[in-house]
Structure 1
Amino acid sequence: MGSDAAMTQSYPPTSPASPAPPLEDENILAEILLRLPPHPTSLYRASRVCKRWRQLILDPEFLRGLRAFHRTPPVLGFFHNSPCPRRFVCAEGSPGRILHATAALRRDGEDGMWWFVECRHGRSLLRGRDWADLLVWDPMTAERRGISVPYRVRAGTFDLNAAVLCPKTVRGDCHYSPFDVVVVCTRQARAFACVYSSATGSCILEFQLGNQRLALVELPSETFSVYKRNIRVGRSEGGGLGLTAVKNFSMHLWVREVDHLGTEKWVLGREIDLYKLLALPLTQTRVGSMPVWISGIAEDGNAVFLRTMVGIFVVWPEIKKFKMLTNSVLIKTVYPYASFYVPEV
């Protein structure tokens, strides 16, 4: 009897193991960190919490997920070629990596400096004074690639311009992807283009990027009579070709649309009253005598940089938000730079 009782004696059931706290679970932690605001200082502060968080944030797989989740990189600020102490002006936070890298951006030669041409997909394109040399520079990774522009491209040209492009399959910044540099010039009322491919390391004297080709796009008839060259080409809010123009204190956003007959034409999409939007800063001086000029547009068209007599403002048209970035009146043309900020190790 006693032995039977011992055999049937019950014990309290073993409790299942408690789940790990959310911040101890690698997958959950990664999902939380992905949802931090794409602000320059967000990941930097998170990476300073502990070594484990820093290793996770610097993992290439996490960085790919970050870009895929947020898609559009934030505008960190702009570069410029004006005679100011700092050639980079921050729009959000204080990304020290860019400031330090820009201070050391020098070139061999008589002029001793590179001149910014444009910024796109997380890279910056710079040129020598005579366009004989180009430099593709990644402020985040410090990667540099020098390119020689063939003399037969430069000889006898009336005007030169260039752009750095990434594969169509890549959206946002593409720090570790191949890139192409397109150089466009005009000569005797004709336009020419050549392409440098980082994959092959050579120039191709034709414009053949997939199915892309040179095409003439007529501007709205109001371009010169109304806006007097105060107009910039960029990407519209819908992702297509767009124009941003300013007349007095009114910003006009034009979009390229196709009508029911299949004809492309320019349509005025939105109009923003800059006098009301920038009322507080602009009333500090004589408003009636203050011109507003477009200094630059972010590559995704989501930020417009305006030059006034009191300094430079950045305006986010979609949310009608603005911010004064600098009171310098020496800066005229700016080159907005957008990228996901990668913390320094």
Structure 2
Amino acid sequence: MLIGGTSGIQFDLDSQRLTVIDSPPGLHDSVQIIHSEDGGVAFATLSGPWNTPRFRIWEREVNSYGVARWELRKTVELQKILGLRFKIDTELSSIVGYAEDINAIFLWVHSSVYMVQIESMQSKELFQSDRLHIYHPFTSFYIQGMESSLRRK
């Protein structure tokens, strides 16, 4: 994403070309680039009225003529995803990270950080945090017995 969030840069590995792409309409500060269902580019956003923010997913579709446009694929009220009983203030909610391996988005809402699985829209409160931070989640793995085979080489 470029500063201001109104466009981004796309690099095509096949043609080795950089292009500027416009972002979906109405994007503001809470935006995250994610993978679409088909492995392409998508955006996750939080937007809407101050007391009913919505989680939206936009996918970039390219037609047979090579013309790309943004399609709104999913809209869900944030309150329904998180199962909260109180109204959510848009000023107190933000997308703070994305875990590509598990296709989960991380949200900061009213002093709590939540993980939301994008396919199922199921959420889990992870921890409390009074400050808004950006998180860079990662996964790692350990294969038992692998360390001995690495030492032999």
Aligned to 1:299: 100
Q: Distance in 2 between matches of 1:301 and 1:256?
A: 21
Find 2:77's aligned residue among 273, 286, 295: 273
Counting strand residues as a fraction of each chain, which structure ranks higher? 2
C-alpha distance 342-213 of structure 1, shift in aligned 2 (>3 A): farther
Aligned to 1:239: 39
Q: Distance in 1 between matches of 2:54 and 2:68?
A: 25
Q: Which aligned pairs between 1:263-342 and structure 2 lie closer than 5 A?
A: 263-279=67-83, 282-283=84-85, 286-289=86-89, 291-300=92-101, 302-342=103-143
Find 2:62's aligned residue among 238, 258, 263: 258
Report the secondary structure of 2:74's partner residue. Answer: strand
Q: Distance in 1 between matches of 2:41 and 2:35?
A: 5
Q: Which aligned pairs between 1:176-255 and structure 2 lie closer than 5 A?
A: 211-223=15-27, 228-248=28-48, 249-255=53-59
Q: Distance in 2 between matches of 1:263 and 1:210?
A: 18
Q: Distance in 1 between matches of 2:16 and 2:34?
A: 17
Q: Distance in 2 between matches of 1:311 and 1:302?
A: 20
Amino acid at match of 1:253: I
Cα shift at 1:236: 1.4
Cα shift at 1:209: 6.2
Q: Distance in 1 between matches of 2:78 and 2:12?
A: 41
C-alpha distance 263-243 of structure 1, shift in aligned 2 (>3 A): same
Higher RCO structure (Cα 8 Å, ≥6 apart)? 1
Cα shift at 1:289: 3.4
Instruction: Kindly indicate whether the alpha-carbon contact (under 8 Å) linking 2:101 and 2:139 is maintained by their aligned counterparts in 1.
Output: no
Q: Which aligned pairs between 1:42-57 and structure 2 lie closer than 5 A?
A: none
Counting helix residues as a fraction of each chain, which structure ranks higher? 1
Instruction: Kindly indicate whether the alpha-carbon contact (under 8 Å) linking 1:297 and 1:305 is maintained by their aligned counterparts in 2.
Output: yes
Q: Distance in 2 between matches of 1:244 and 1:301?
A: 15
Cα shift at 1:343: 5.1
TM-score, reference length from structure 1: 0.34
C-alpha distance 305-263 of structure 1, shift in aligned 2 (>3 A): same
Instruction: Kindly indicate whether the alpha-carbon contact (under 8 Å) linking 2:88 and 2:109 is maintained by their aligned counterparts in 1.
Output: no
For structure 2, the 5+ residue unaligned runs are 4-8, 148-153
C-alpha distance 343-272 of structure 1, shift in aligned 2 (>3 A): farther
Q: Distance in 2 between matches of 1:301 and 1:235?
A: 11
Cα shift at 1:213: 2.9
Q: Distance in 2 between matches of 1:247 and 1:301?
A: 24
Report the secondary structure of 2:44's partner residue. Answer: strand
TM-score, reference length from structure 2: 0.72
Report the secondary structure of 1:214's partner residue. Answer: strand
Cα shift at 1:341: 4.2
Identity %: 29
C-alpha distance 246-288 of structure 1, shift in aligned 2 (>3 A): closer
Deviations 1:141-190 (A, max 9, x none): xxxxxxxxxxxxxxxxxx9xxxxxxxxxxxxxxxxxxxxxxxxxxxxxxx
Instruction: Kindly indicate whether the alpha-carbon contact (under 8 Å) linking 1:234 and 1:242 is maintained by their aligned counterparts in 2.
Output: yes
C-alpha distance 243-289 of structure 1, shift in aligned 2 (>3 A): closer
Amino acid at match of 1:255: E
C-alpha distance 295-343 of structure 1, shift in aligned 2 (>3 A): farther
Q: Distance in 2 between matches of 1:253 and 1:309?
A: 22
Task: Quote the RMSD (CA, aligned, Å).
Answer: 2.8
Q: Distance in 1 between matches of 2:12 and 2:72?
A: 32
Q: Distance in 2 between matches of 1:215 and 1:341?
A: 39
